[in-house]
């Protein structure tokens, strides 16, 4: 696994660039990860990031878009607006989590 | 340690303008889901997605039937108990009274256990994700149905040629 330095943190990533150790993620890393994919985080982004982190801690896997929407009460349309085109993957990336594995 | 961070290529130029068209022609519960699931996956990858509902696939968007699609194993020689691939069930047993209701209830439970929504809620998910849904004109005429009878996310009732025109350059799936 390659390591890379983001915002002064040395983190392990896979060959796509996703963090491979969720515990290496800290809140100050998120804005830097977001910047790398052209996003600027607002409070609305943050509430989804916090949901994804806590859901991952409880479930052991990254929530799918449908789960994020249903469990956090955020309309799918809004999630697409916050993380355009590939919302589930972008949200996971910024949150330092693996891509979701579920189909729906 | 690499100098510049490795960043996922979320917006790779190769996928720019990718379109997917799925023709949903069947109204059985087990034939409705593949199209919906693939559409959802494509939308989540930023792919412009069009669904065309035709013939029995009309039941997926007909408000009178969409929540009540059924699964029958008559004619499905691959039928077996879930988790017991070696133990076949003769498909003609599916013709017994109550078999379809039982099989449908069982499949719905399996789908719900995976946290996958029922058809109407699934359509909401697709609609919210920006899916284009079209209803086939000939099917509407055959069934004497209008836009009022259809799921509200359906954009219009269009002819086959209009659909072909709208999906120029798209990858196409017929289900």
Give the up-direction half-sphere exposure of residue A63: CA atoms within 13 A in the CB hemisphere. 24
A48 torsion bin: left (phi>0), alpha (psi -120 to 50), beta (else) = alpha
* pLDDT above 60 for B1: no
User: Number of A:B CB contacts under 8 A?
Assistant: 80
Contacts with B130 from chain A: Cβ below 8 Å: 77, 80
Task: Report how far residue B7's alpha carbon sits from residue A95's, in angstroms, rounded to the nearest whole number.
Answer: 14
Task: Work out whether the CA dihedral A52, A57, A62, A66 comes out positive or negative.
Answer: negative
Quick: pLDDT tens for B33-46: 999 999 999 999 99
Structure tokens belonging to residue A44:
């609305």
Chain A residue with minimum CA distance to B116: A104
* B19-67+93-174 is a CATH 3.40.1260.10 domain: yes
User: Does ipTM top 0.95?
Assistant: no
Residue with tokens 């509407």: B140
Predicted pLDDT of residue A8 = 83
Domain coordinates in residue numbering, chain B = 19-67+93-174
Extract the runs of DSSP E, i.e. beta strands, from B25-93: 48-53
Whether A14 maps to a domain, the answer reads no
- Do the strands A3-6 and A9-12 form a parallel or antiparallel pair, or are they unpaired? antiparallel
* CB-CB contact of B89 with B81 (8 Å): yes
Interface of B with A (CB under 8 A): 1-2, 5-8, 10-11, 37, 40-41, 44-46, 114-117, 122, 125, 128-130
* CB-CB under 8 Å, B5 with A104: no
Whether A89 maps to a domain, the answer reads yes
Quick: pLDDT tens for B101-154: 999 999 999 999 988 999 999 999 999 999 999 999 999 999 999 999 999 999
Tally the domains of chain A. Answer: 1
Contacts with B12 from chain A: Cβ below 8 Å: none
- Residue A102: CB atoms within 10 A of its CB come to 15
Shortest Cα distance, chain A CAs vs residue B17, angstroms: 12
Contacts with A80 from chain B: Cβ below 8 Å: 128-130
Contacts with B45 from chain A: Cβ below 8 Å: 85-86
Q: Whose CA is closest to B158, among B132, B139, B131, B136?
A: B136
The CATH number of the domain where A90 resides is what?
1.10.10
* CB-CB under 8 Å, A89 with B10: yes
Predicted pLDDT of residue A59 = 94
Task: Report how far residue A79's alpha carbon sits from residue B110's, in angstroms, rounded to the nearest whole number.
Answer: 27
Whether A84 maps to a domain, the answer reads yes
More confident residue, B77 or B66: B66
Task: Report how far residue B7's alpha carbon sits from residue B26's, in angstroms, rounded to the nearest whole number.
Answer: 41
Predicted pLDDT of residue B5 = 80
Give the pLDDT band of residue B77 (cuts 50, 70, 90): confident
Shortest Cα distance, chain B CAs vs residue A104, angstroms: 6
In degrees rounded to 5, what are phi and psi of residue B27? -110, 10
Structure tokens belonging to residue B167:
């999906």
More confident residue, A33 or B77: A33
Burial state string for B106-118 with b = 16 or more CB within 10 A and e = fewer than 16: ebbeebeeeebbe
Structure tokens belonging to residue B144:
């004497």
* CB-CB under 8 Å, B8 with A69: no
- Do the strands B48-53 and B154-158 form a parallel or antiparallel pair, or are they unpaired? unpaired
Q: Which domain does A37 fall in, by range? A: 28-94
Which positions of chain A have pLDDT values less than 70?
none
What is the CA angle A87-B173-B113, rounded to 5? Answer: 55
* pLDDT above 70 for B14: no
Burial state string for A65-74 with b = 16 or more CB within 10 A and e = fewer than 16: bbbbbbebeb
Predicted pLDDT of residue A102 = 87
Quick: pLDDT tens for B46-59: 999 999 999 999 99
Chain A residue with minimum CA distance to B130: A77
């Amino acid at each position: 696994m390659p390591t890379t330095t983001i915002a002064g943190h040395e983190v392990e990533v896979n060959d796509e660039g996703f963090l491979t150790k969720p515990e290496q993620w800290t809140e100050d890393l998120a804005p830097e990860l977001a910047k790398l994919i052209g996003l600027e985080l607002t409070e609305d982004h943050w509430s989804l990031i916090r949901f994804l982190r806590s859901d991952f801690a409880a479930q052991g896997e990254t929530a799918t878009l449908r789960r994020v929407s249903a469990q956090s009460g955020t309309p799918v349309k809004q999630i697409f607006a916050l993380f355009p085109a590939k919302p589930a993957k972008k949200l996971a990336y910024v949150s330092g989590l693996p891509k979701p594995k579920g189909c729906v | 340690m690499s100098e510049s961070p490795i960043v996922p290529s979320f917006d790779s130029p190769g996928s720019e303008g990718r379109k997917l068209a799925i023709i949903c022609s069947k109204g059985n519960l087990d034939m409705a889901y593949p199209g919906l699931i693939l559409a959802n996956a494509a939308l989540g990858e930023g792919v412009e997605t069009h669904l065309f509902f035709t013939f029995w696939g009309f039941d997926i968007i007909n408000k009178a039937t969409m929540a009540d699609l059924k699964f029958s194993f008559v004619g499905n020689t691959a039928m077996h108990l879930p988790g017991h691939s070696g133990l076949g069930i003769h498909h003609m047993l599916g013709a017994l009274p109550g078999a379809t209701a039982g099989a449908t209830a069982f499949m719905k439970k399996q789908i719900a256990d995976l946290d996958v929504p029922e058809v109407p809620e699934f359509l909401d998910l697709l609609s919210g994700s920006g899916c284009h849904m079209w209803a086939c004109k000939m099917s509407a005429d055959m069934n004497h149905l209008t836009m009022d009878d259809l799921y509200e996310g359906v954009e219009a009732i269009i002819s086959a040629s209009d659909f072909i025109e709208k999906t120029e350059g798209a990858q196409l799936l017929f289900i």
